[in-house]
Amino acid sequence: MFKRFLDPATIYLRRAQRCMDEARMAALEHESAAEHHAALARMYRERVARLRLEMSPEPQDSRPLAEAPAQGPRVMALKKREDAQPKASLVQEMAG
């Protein structure tokens, strides 16, 4: 009965399973930290670009330019063609 608990192979398998679980947890934690650091690096790159723009010499006319309003996306409905066989009519025009 106790052989199941004291068997070296079983003990090794349990220890290997624990190590594998710990390694998976560590990998998950490191992936999470890597995502966080990537977001921080992106934020700091944007900050550097913004600060460079602020430090660059301004044009002679220091009045703020009026920004054009942003245009929204244009959405148009597709129209159905009047003629039922457009390919046949194109072939006839090219042949004739």
pTM of the prediction?
Answer: 0.45
Give domain status of residue 30, yes or no. Answer: yes
Give domain status of residue 3, yes or no. Answer: yes
CB atoms within 10 A of CB 21: 10
Amino acid at the residue 91? V
Distance CA 26, CA 22 (A): 6
Give domain status of residue 86, yes or no. Answer: no
The residue segments making up the domain with residue 47 are 1-55
Which token pair is 57? Answer: 């010499």
Give domain status of residue 31, yes or no. Answer: yes
Domains held by the chain: number: 1
**DSSP-assigned letters across all residues of 2-68:** THHHH-HHHHHHHHHHHHHHHHHHHHHHHHHHHHHHHHHHHHHHHHHHHHHHHHSPPPS--SPPPPP
Which pLDDT tens digits describe the chain residue by residue (96 residues)? 567 778 888 889 999 999 999 999 999 999 999 999 999 999 999 999 999 999 988 765 555 545 555 555 555 555 555 554 555 555 455 555
Give domain status of residue 38, yes or no. Answer: yes
